Amino acid sequence: MKQLMSQLGKRILFFDGAMGTLLQREGLAPGQAPESWNLTHPDTIRAIHRDYLRAGCDIVKANTFGGNPLKLAEAGLCPAEVVTAGVRLAREAVEVEGHGWVALDMGPTGRLLQPMGDLSFDEAVEAYAQMVRDGVAAGADCCLIETMSDTLETKAAVLAAKENCDLPVFVTLTFDQRGRLLTGADIPAAVAMLEGLGVDALGLNCGFGPEQMLPLVEELTRWASVPLIVNPNAGLPVVVDGTTCYQVEPEEFASWMEQLIARGVWMAGGCCGTTPAHLAALTARCREMKPLALPDNRRTVVSSGAMAVVMGEDPVVIGERINPTGKSRLKQALREGNLDYILSEGVKQQQNGAHILDVNVGLPEIDEPAMMEQVVRELQGVVPLPLQIDTSSPAAMEAALRRYNGKAMINSVNGRAESMDAILPLAKKYGGVVVALTMDEKGIPETADGRVAIARRILDRALALGLRKEDLVVDALTMTVSAEQESARVTLETVRRIKAELGLRTVLGVSNISFGLPRRELLGSSFFLLALEAGLDAAIINPGSAAMMDALAAYRALSGLDTQCGGYIARCAAQAEAQAAAPVQAAQPVRTAATAAPDAPSLGELAAAVEQGRKEDAARLAAEELKALPPLELIDRQLIPALDRVGKGFEQGRVFLPQLLMSADAARAAFEVVQEVLSRSGGRRQGGKVVLATVQGDIHDIGKNIVKVLLENYGFQVLDLGRDVPPERVVETVLAEDVKLVGLSALMTTTVPAMAETIRQLRQAAPDCRVMVGGAVMTPEYAAQIGADHYGPDAMSSVHYAQELLG
């Protein structure tokens, strides 16, 4: 029998149609696992495969779609048994009919991966790997990963397939009609990731019929460079009497499929609602069609689980702020494992207009691979932008790339042999756009000639390893102009020549240029403009720098990239509006009726801003006052009294939760400013430590987060363990950090036992540690029953308890 891959592209290959639809007709009960029939009704399964083969199908999907261990656990079936039987039955049908190939069919796990869900990436890979090993042993010819609606889960399945067999790997995704997956990715993002992982073909299945797939297939032909697959349903699902039906008839199905194939699809079949009759009509109509040549869609694309960023069309801003070099506050956050601070730096950069975020967590005293993996995962839960993994540790690079949702930027490789040996194979395996630094073991060449030569060497090596030219972006290296007079010119010349001579994309870290000189932003933004004019495709800068972003906006307007200067005008308008909104200095401190008790003395302006929840003002005023007042005095004289007054108002029912939170936000903004100053001098507020956690099984965390912000405002050092936290982790942290107060939150009655268990373990391991509890289902009686020391009906109550206990 001919090899499957040798036929791909020579003729149209046909997948089979639905299995579940036919099994339901044969009596499969709704809710029953179709895979169970591999064991109970083998003849029926085999007969269906044979019907499809006789209808002219080339590839039959083994009845293993839901056969992953995570999914079968619900049904009480043995995955190995079910998968092995499923592949064997398909194999037997192929042998009897004398033609065809067997696809090991793998669908979703039914669980959502971290950080949005609770399934870890490694568990997902292992679940699929088990299927692959069993399926291959039973005689599969290829792996079909289908009906996927989450890029990260798809990546887990592809890696499992590639790491456990040499068979072709095909992937089909289920988009909605807007062209988005349920977890948010669009077609360019999904294609970038899958091609980066090296799948052999990709496409669409399920969701709707061939007619609705037409625009999506057209979009795919604009982005994909590998063969395309379509396995649509027999039309849109229609609910009749509460049951889902598919109503497109075989001939109509086939005629739509003909149009899809005419647009460049190489492999075609069916999904829900299709039958051997549909497939017979399809193969009869389209068998003689010739596959179109593959389109050349090779662009430089990085992606996340939500979006793709293309380089080479419009300058790309890579945010540089998540990097501890020279940032004492970030160093402190990394040492303390304060993830929220790091994540908020990411969110701010997105708001300031970054397209990609650089992530560097390298500090000598931390476990970099573990920290990188954690930061990348959690950052992807809150920011839709693609990330640039920035580390000199190959272990940290691999830990992050493996679990990264999408196709990342890889920062970086250089001309040293060891660097290329370590980094380029990672790019080949996991996909990625690699930043190539024009330096090697001899250092950074002083001439453009030297730098171009290194870029060429890295390119040759990358191509030899099977990487695509588009997946290399060269960093011509910015040197400090005050140290080397000629360096700026050399860098710019290198950018020009890399583009002209090698046809590669370029990137620069821009900020370095002005080191040691006055008015750094002036030099930086001017150099940025020159580099853009030299053809720079991406710049690693601080998107919070107005001067840099202004330069970019001006460049885009002047170079014809900004249609009717719309972006430029909008940016200027927003700036004008922000200026107008900045309040005039109030001569008298304002006192609001809602917050201040009638006899309360008026505090300063900063305190008023906090009381009224004016966040921007609070930060600005704090910065001003710090010029005259020492940080700790500012806290004691202004911020804490303001918080106390709002808190009191809240307890007396004059202030409601939203105002309390707005005040807390304003105070937090002021504390951030104070903390900057304190970090620079190595100091910090010396509040007691409090561990906070939403208990195991519970994923609701708003209550815990409110308590956290208030405690932090009052100077407590909060160790936030997050949500769904196992009792053991709470205990470990309490012991390791010598913590005397733990706050636990639970929202559901079903998670109260987890709270009780956490308290029980704490009592055993750390008898002198106090426990306060809260959450929607908590009552004072419940709290007493499970042995808590304190019940907090609201967030202020936990502050008082902490003050009482820890001072």
Question: Where on the chain is the footprint of another protein (CB under 8 A)?
Answer: 29-32, 74, 108, 110-112, 116-118, 149, 176, 180, 182-184, 239, 241-243, 340, 343-344, 347-348, 381-384, 594, 613, 615, 656-659, 661-662, 664-665, 668, 696-700, 702, 705-706, 709, 724, 748-751, 776-777, 779-781, 793
- Give the residue with the Cβ less far from another protein, 96 or 702: 702
User: DSSP 3-state assignment of 15?
Assistant: strand
Provide the minimum distance between the beta carbon of 224 and another protein in the complex, in angstroms, as a whole number.
24
Question: What one-character-per-residue DSSP string does 748-783 give?
Answer: SGGGHHHHHHHHHHHHHH-TT-EEEEESTT--HHHH
Within a 13 Å sphere around the CA of 361, how many CA atoms are in the beta-carbon half? 29
- Give the residue with the Cβ less far from another protein, 65 or 256: 65
Tokens of 26: 């044969």
- Give the residue with the Cβ less far from another protein, 239 or 628: 239
Q: Are 385 and 355 in contact (CB under 8 A)?
A: yes
CA separation for the pair 670, 605 (Å, rounded): 12
CA separation for the pair 25, 806 (Å, rounded): 68
Residue 179's identity, in one-letter code, is G
- Give the residue with the Cβ less far from another protein, 582 or 776: 776
Provide the minimum distance between the beta carbon of 547 and another protein in the complex, in angstroms, as a whole number.
24
- Give the residue with the Cβ less far from another protein, 239 or 736: 239
Q: Which residues lie across from 102 on neighbouring strands?
A: 60
- Give the residue with the Cβ less far from another protein, 348 or 457: 348
Provide the minimum distance between the beta carbon of 326 and another protein in the complex, in angstroms, as a whole number.
23
Provide the minimum distance between the beta carbon of 266 and another protein in the complex, in angstroms, as a whole number.
27
CA separation for the pair 320, 543 (Å, rounded): 8
Provide the minimum distance between the beta carbon of 708 and another protein in the complex, in angstroms, as a whole number.
9
Provide the minimum distance between the beta carbon of 338 and another protein in the complex, in angstroms, as a whole number.
11
- Give the residue with the Cβ less far from another protein, 726 or 787: 726
- Give the residue with the Cβ less far from another protein, 497 or 615: 615
CA separation for the pair 124, 107 (Å, rounded): 12
Provide the minimum distance between the beta carbon of 729 and another protein in the complex, in angstroms, as a whole number.
15
How many C-beta neighbours within 10 Å does residue 518 have?
7
C-alpha dist (Å) from residue 778 to 696, 711, 724, 782, 791: 16, 20, 17, 6, 8
How many C-beta neighbours within 10 Å does residue 763 have?
13
CA separation for the pair 263, 211 (Å, rounded): 13
Provide the minimum distance between the beta carbon of 661 and another protein in the complex, in angstroms, as a whole number.
4
Backbone φ and ψ of 520, nearest 5°: -60, -35
Q: Are 248 and 209 in contact (CB under 8 A)?
A: yes
- Give the residue with the Cβ less far from another protein, 237 or 688: 237
Provide the minimum distance between the beta carbon of 151 and another protein in the complex, in angstroms, as a whole number.
12
Q: What is the DSSP letter of 59?
A: E
Q: Are 737 and 689 in contact (CB under 8 A)?
A: yes
Provide the minimum distance between the beta carbon of 659 and another protein in the complex, in angstroms, as a whole number.
8
User: DSSP 3-state assignment of 172?
Assistant: strand
- Give the residue with the Cβ less far from another protein, 263 or 700: 700
Q: Are 329 and 676 in contact (CB under 8 A)?
A: yes
- Give the residue with the Cβ less far from another protein, 188 or 697: 697
Q: Is 768 exposed, middle or buried (0-12, 13-18, 19+ CB in 10 A)?
A: exposed
Sequence length of the chain is 807
Provide the minimum distance between the beta carbon of 772 and another protein in the complex, in angstroms, as a whole number.
16
CA separation for the pair 218, 181 (Å, rounded): 17
